[in-house]
Amino acid sequence: MTNIYGSPPGATEWLQRAKRMRKQQFSNLAQLGELVSCISTLAHMLQCERGASNIWLCSQGKLYAAECKASRALADQNLAAFHGALAQQSPFSGSAVCERIASALHQLEQLGPLREAVVSRSIKAHLAMEQYSRTLRHVLSIIPQLNDSIDDPQIASRFVALYSLMQGKELAGQERALGAIGFTEGHFSDDMRQTLVDRIDAQQACFDVFLSRVQPDVQTTFERHCLPGVETEQLRRVACTRQPAADQGATALNWFALQTARLEHLRALEEVMIADLMHAVEARMHSDNESFEFFDETDDPFTHWPDKPLLSLVRQQAREIELLSRQLASLRDTLEERKTIDKAKSVLMTHQNMSEEQAWYALRKMAMDKNQRMVDIARALLTVKTLWQVIPKE
């Protein structure tokens, strides 16, 4: 490429090109703000629907009929808003985000049959919970893919913090739904208890990442409003160590109310983080518009640290960017592992005539017998078809 004089682009042309590219990047990200907000709200409504449906199913249709109906209506409203936000987006930067959106829309299309099964009580609560959770995983998996084209460390850090918060909130929602099943039925199996412990541990890991990336005032807000209270901790201990008392669902309703209050605080914090992200994008766009000049020694940011060697500063920045990339990659790997396990379950259901519950227990049993991770067993099943015949039905 040459300029109007036939010579290669010079410094000014390259600076102009960098400015245009950065401005376009931030402009695209600003447009994504509405989509991120819609995903957050839709996920929250689906979490509400999942929890209410569990209580309805476990109580044999005696509790939460009105709440189920209301949560479905709210979820539908936000699903329409989600479709609207997608329609208004400019073309995305890559195919990966389009694939995530396609997968999410496919899962959302299954809501109708799932709801019919819930209303007719023709599905077990734990299976309904798994289908809702699978849909939520696909919806939330769109968020990290939006971060692919961001090379600004401050914006990338905010994205990691927001996604970690959303993942932690979803795991807290699964904890609420799982506890609703156990307390309503008056029984926690060993598998339910282990799953409950896993959800508690996993959400804490997500929140640790979140807290490491936010300002002290946000940390204070989280610790003040979003941590489980004393009564919730007491109910956690009951669920994980002994069987709850039979009380016609009173403990279940109390558990659900406590966890719902916590989720509402987490939802409010999500909104704060989304607003902060968009404010930061706007600020960077404004800053970029004002500072379109070549920098010299007086503008060099390294002059602010005259006592620090240049090489150490470069290495520090590189480590920070690498850490962000690793954290985001780890969150993505978790989503991909869940998708692999879902595919393996589907294989077992098709070729072994297993139910979804039987397929999950079969994978879990093989993983325990072979002392391997469930995702490794799932990958083996998807690769080596002869292994299908050796898994016993439960």
Q: Which residue shows structure tokens 């993505």?
A: 332
Percentage of the chain with pLDDT > 70?
77
Report the 10 Å Cβ neighbour count for 195.
Answer: 16
Identify the pLDDT of residue 104: 94
CA separation for the pair 375, 344 (Å, rounded) = 9
DSSP symbols for 298-322: TT-GGGG-TTS-HHHHHHHHHHHHH
Query: What is residue 288's predicted lDDT score, i.e. its pLDDT?
Result: 53
Q: Where are the beta strands (DSSP E) in 231-332?
A: none
pLDDT at 115 > cutoff 90:
yes
Residue that has been written with the tokens 């990339």 in this structure: 325
Question: If you average pLDDT over residues 77-88, what whole number do you get?
Answer: 91
Q: In this predicted model, what pLDDT tens digit does every residue of 83-99 receive, in sequence order?
A: 998 888 766 666 788 88
pLDDT at 296 over 50: no
The model carries a pTM of 0.70
Task: Judge residue 60's burial from the number of C-beta atoms within 10 Å of its C-beta, 0-12 exposed, 13-18 middle, 19 or more buried.
Answer: exposed
Which pLDDT value is given to residue 378?
Answer: 84
Question: What's the pLDDT band for 297 if we cut at 50, 70, 90?
Answer: very low
Of 340, 346, 352, 350, which Cα lies nearest the Cα of 377?
340
Q: In this predicted structure, what is the pLDDT of residue 373?
A: 83
148-161 pLDDT, tens digit each: 656 677 787 888 89
